[in-house]
A = this chain, B = another copy of it.
Amino acid sequence: MREARKGMLLVISGPSGAGKGTLYNRVLSADGSMTFSVSYTTRAPRPGEVEGRDYCFVTEEQFLEMLGKDGFLEHADVHGHMYGTPRQPVLDALEKGRSVMLDIDPQGALQVMEKMPGCVSVFILPPSFGELRRRLEGRGTETREEIERRLHNARGEVALKDRYQYLVVNDDLEVAYQTLQGIVNAEKQRSCRYFPVVEE
Which residues of A pack against B, CB within 8 Å? 1, 3, 123, 125-130, 158, 161-169, 171, 179, 182-183, 185-187, 189-192, 194, 196, 198-200
Contacts and interface: CB of A to CB of B under 8 A. Distances in A.
Contacts of A128: 1, 198-200
B171 A189 contact: no
Contacts of A183: 186, 189
Given A162-B191, A182-B186, 19 more contacts: A3-B169, A125-B198, A128-B199, A129-B199, A158-B198, A162-B192, A163-B191, A165-B191, A166-B190, A166-B191, A167-B189, A167-B190, A167-B196, A168-B189, A179-B189, A182-B182, A182-B185, A183-B186, A185-B186
Nearest to A162: B191
A133 to B, nearest CB: 10
Residue among A125, A126, A198, A199 with most chain B CB within 10 A: A198
